[in-house]
Amino acid sequence: MVSPVIKLNSGYDMPQVGFGLWKVDNAVASDVVYNAIKVGYRLFDGACDYGNEVECGKGVARAIAEGIVKREELFIVSKLWNTFHEGHQVEPIVKKQLADWGLEYFDLYLIHFPVALKYVDPAVRYPPGWHYEGDKVIRSNASIQETWTAFESLVEKKLTKSIGISNFQSQLIYDLLRYAKIPPATLQIEHHPFLVQQELLNLCKAEGITVTAYSSFGPASFLEFDMQHAVKLTPLMEDSTIKSIAAKYNKDPSQVLLRWATQRGLAVIPKTTRVELMTANLKHTEFDLSEEDIAAITAFNRGIRFNQPSNYFPTELLWIFG
Ligand SMILES: NC(=O)c1ccc[n+]([C@@H]2O[C@H](COP(=O)([O-])OP(=O)(O)OC[C@H]3O[C@@H](n4cnc5c(N)ncnc54)[C@H](OP(=O)(O)O)[C@@H]3O)[C@@H](O)[C@H]2O)c1
């Protein structure tokens, strides 16, 4: 395997470098996954909300059929969307997502966001998105404890090997740890030099929860939404400090950004549809940054978050990271 692995608290090995599937168009998703497997990726980070699980599953099936990889060598991650948090909704939707992928089990299944929204029947709209109808965001009363208890039964039923959380902050993790019979194996969070969240990382380290960084390139992923605070920033890959560190090691700025995360023990899941960039992203662990260079990148921290609902639609509807 090209990527190093991290031993999860569930006992399973997880590739430290995986492949992100958000915004991979349906038209190309099957080929992108197939090509990424050929390049050497073994972890794929999917979700109901990405709307491309059927196509991603086809890429996996093709690679398995051609003998490039075996199912047990892959590490497939998916996520529960907010509209399926009620305990009795969890298992049916996991089974639908597994059928979409053409798989019998996930390696890791995450609560995508710590917010429960009113149930939407998949026959009516799938993926359901944030809005119930029109611009209405309607919450449901499901607690995280109810959802997590249902997650624990997914492990018992062998529908997923490990379970985890995403977009949680410390207070809610402390609460979850009080009642969890199975602790979360991973926490997936937005993490890049503009958003370090060191105390959250400290908590996860102390509790044995592996952290996966998403949107490692910071604003790069959010320019297409025309987010003004993303557009106004100097792109991290064009920043003079990042570029000069990259030049020193004869690496790409993108590899420096990923190495800053993996050298500090995090997993990463960069996304690209360009085959020529897949290898560089995957192989970025083949060098080490000095402690001074790591500190210089950490010093970029400004607490700037891009991936929050209030950046996508009017703020009077939902504030998850308040
Ligand atoms: N849990 C959550 O709520 C959550 C939220 C966001 C993301 N995620 C997960 O994390 C994954 C990664 O995050 P992300 O997709 O937001 O962003 P990302 O991986 O940080 O950045 C993707 C952007 O960077 C470009 N890019 C990738 N590699 C590059 C390279 N070597 N050089 C130059 N440009 C490069 C891509 O362009 P091209 O595609 O055009 O190459 C794309 O525009 C997602 O795909 C998803 O699986 C999870």
| Residue 59 domain-assigned (yes or no) | yes
Q: What confidence tier does 40 reach under pLDDT thresholds 50, 70, 90?
A: very high
pLDDT, tens only, 292-301: 999 999 999 9
pLDDT at 260: 98
Is 88 assigned to a binding site? no
Residue 245 maps to a domain: no
Query: Which of 28, 216, 221, 278 has most ligand 1 atoms within 8 Å of its beta carbon, as the pocket-test mutant?
Result: 221
Give 254-290 pLDDT, tens digit per residue.
999 999 999 999 999 999 999 999 999 999 999 999 9
Q: For residue 212, which atom of ligand 1 is closest to its CA? A: 10
Instruction: Tell me what pLDDT residue 254 has.
Output: 98
pLDDT in the model for residue 322: 87
Residue 314 has what pLDDT? 84
Residue of minimum CA distance from atom 13 in ligand 1: 215
Q: CA 122, CA 125: separation in Å to the nearest integer? A: 5
Ligand 1 atom with minimal separation from the 166 CA: 1
Question: Which of the four pLDDT bands, split at 50, 70 and 90, describes residue 316?
Answer: confident
Residue to probe by mutation, ligand 1, list 17, 28, 56, 215, most atoms within 8 Å of CB = 215
Tokens of 307: 């991936």
107, exposed or middle or buried, with CB in 10 Å at 0-12, 13-18, 19+? Answer: buried
pTM: 0.98
CA of 221 to the centre of ligand 1 (A): 5
Ligand 1 centroid to Cα of residue 7, in Å, is 24
Q: Tokens 């429960």 sit at which residue?
A: 116
Instruction: Give the residues surrounding ligand 1 with Cβ less than 6 Å away.
Output: 20-22, 45, 112, 166-167, 188, 214-217, 220-221, 237, 254, 269-274, 277, 280-281, 307
pLDDT above 70 coverage of the chain, percent: 100
Q: Which atom of ligand 1 is nearest to the CA of 222?
A: 16
Where are any strands of DSSP class E within 19-137? 19-20, 43-45, 75-80, 106-111
Q: Residue 134's pLDDT is what?
A: 87
How far apart are alpha carbons 217 and 214 in whole angstroms? 8
What separation in Å is there between the alpha carbon of 19 and the centre of ligand 1? 9
pLDDT digits (tens, 9 = 90+) for 188-237: 999 999 999 999 999 999 999 999 999 999 999 999 999 999 999 999 99
Average pLDDT taken over every residue of the chain: 97
Report which protein residue has its CA nearest ligand 1's atom 26: 272
Distance 268 CA to ligand 1 centre (A): 10
Per the structure, the count of domains in the chain is: 1
Whether 54 maps to a domain, the answer reads yes
Q: Tell me whether residue 297 is in a domain.
A: yes
Q: What range does the domain containing 39 cover?
A: 5-235+263-311
Q: Which two tokens stand for residue 84?
A: 């399926």
For residue 249, tell me if it sits in a domain: no
Enumerate long-range contacts of 263-266, CB under 8 Å, 24 or more apart: 263/288, 263/289, 263/294, 264/201, 264/294, 265/6, 265/205, 265/211, 266/191, 266/201, 266/210, 266/211, 266/212, 266/213
Report the CATH number that the domain containing residue 126 is assigned in CATH: 3.20.20.100
Angle at 225 between CA 322 and CA 187, to 5 degrees: 45
| pLDDT exceeds 90 at position 135 | no
